[in-house]
Amino acid sequence: MRSYAEHQQAVHELLGSLAARLHDLGAKRLELARPDALGRVLASDVVSPIALPGFDNSQMDGYAVRSAELAGARPGSPVRLIVGRTSAAGDAPFALAPGTASPVMTGAAIPDGADAVVPIEHASPSAFIGIGGGRHDSPAGSVVGFTAPVEPGTFIRPIGSDIDAGALLLPAGTRLGPAQLGSLAAAGVTEVRARRRLRVLLISTGHELRAPGSPLRPGQLHDANTSMLAAALRACGAEVLESRATDDAGSVQAVLAASAPLVDLVVTTGGVSEGAFEVVRDALAPLGVEFVKVAIQPGGPQGLGTARIPRSDGEGLGHDHATPVEVPVISFPGNPVSALVSFELFLRPVLRRLEGLAPDRHRARLPLAHDVVSPLGKHQVRRGVIDGAGAVEVGAPSSHLLHAYARATVLVHLPVGVDALPAGAHVDVWRIDD
């Protein structure tokens, strides 16, 4: 029986080439104004075409001054300067006349010759003189006083202090979130080269499954796995092609033959255990997928490997017609909790890393609110909630309790070698309520 860590490593190794595949086969220009730019991953470095900021500007509302002219300012002996032209946001820079102080607003260009900004509240008067209400400049002859010297560079944002022109703005592999899109926009970048999204074929198997909303006959179930795992995959940035197959190996193979050339990864649920109708095992084992037992609960039966899938009629050209399609396959059990726990343990970290996201859930060690028991030889993953005292209330272990999973806020890990823990013992938990 394979350990949890061993199977996790096997999944990482199987899918290790996906990043290169997404870069090599799908990188293209992406217009950043498109709504779907959010969440995409850069295929190439982006160099800033301009410096940011593009000019020296003020960090405060105040007066732009020559610091040397305020060297002798004291509380009892203020330095008084004529109020010069105002520099408001969007105004072009102008020269600061000697012996003057120019009102300057936050973000506005520093006048040429000024080397410091004195905040308005440190000036006398502590309000701009006659500015506002449609008036841009102070009345002629206005005077402002200063009672302290100022160091050169005070409250000035120098040109290029965020990034210089020609410097690396964002490296390849960066996921475009709000801050990244804002940084690109500030630099005037409108297009980038982005990796295409991972394309996943999701196959839920089971003769008993029916689409949500369909009438059920005795023995039939609504298919939760497709909705659940498709959402989980999309949350990791993937495009998902959904399919259902009956308990017939030919049905699964037909879905694969039709869709495998279009996708980068196949994920299946159900049909991987030791029953008489294990359709995924029957369909995929001959194609190169390995089925193993992993020492976890829930989710012990797992499958993974590179499937060599014969092309359906009409696929391929010339000699390629006979070349099988090779695609990595990850197979999870069919019970909904088993499937989702398996996704969390084995697949989610890989897909998150592909998308430039932190691969792991937020983790902590918290005390148990009550006693728990666990199978000694398995890594058990239980669903739980954190109570008002910060302790973990652990739910039942059964793999059909999807409603309990939906209400859980943490996954609780009880490792191999642990068969019982008392209330107050600390356990590893992953937050799943983010």
Assess whether 227 and 336 both reside in one domain: yes
Query: Alpha helix locations (H) across 37-85?
Result: none
Boundary residue ending a domain (158, 180, 205): 158
Assess whether 99 and 170 both reside in one domain: no
Boundary residue ending a domain (158, 180, 212): 158
Assess whether 338 and 216 both reside in one domain: yes
Assess whether 392 and 314 both reside in one domain: no
Separation of alpha carbons 294 and 302, rounded Å: 7
Assess whether 344 and 324 both reside in one domain: yes
pLDDT tens digits, one per residue of 149-196 = 999 999 999 999 999 999 999 999 899 999 999 999 999 999 999 988
pLDDT at residue 315, as a whole number? 46
pTM of the model: 0.80
Whichever domain contains 73, its CATH number is 2.170.190.11
pLDDT at residue 319, as a whole number? 42
Assess whether 220 and 248 both reside in one domain: yes
pLDDT tens digits, one per residue of 72-96 = 999 999 999 999 999 999 999 999 9
Range of the domain at 404: 363-431
Assess whether 175 and 253 both reside in one domain: no
Say how many domains are in the chain. 4
Q: Which residues, in sequence order, are CB contacts of 170 under 8 Å at separation 6+?
A: 42, 45, 46, 180, 183, 184
Whichever domain contains 252, its CATH number is 3.40.980.10
375 close to 420: Cβ distance less than 8 angstroms: no
Phi-psi map region of 36: left, alpha, beta (phi>0 left; psi -120 to 50 alpha): alpha
Assess whether 15 and 145 both reside in one domain: no
Assess whether 188 and 263 both reside in one domain: no
Provide mean pLDDT across the span 294-317: 82
Assess whether 174 and 238 both reside in one domain: no
Q: Which residues, in sequence order, are CB contacts of 229 under 8 Å at separation 6+?
A: 202, 204, 267, 269, 332, 339, 340, 343
Assess whether 182 and 36 both reside in one domain: yes
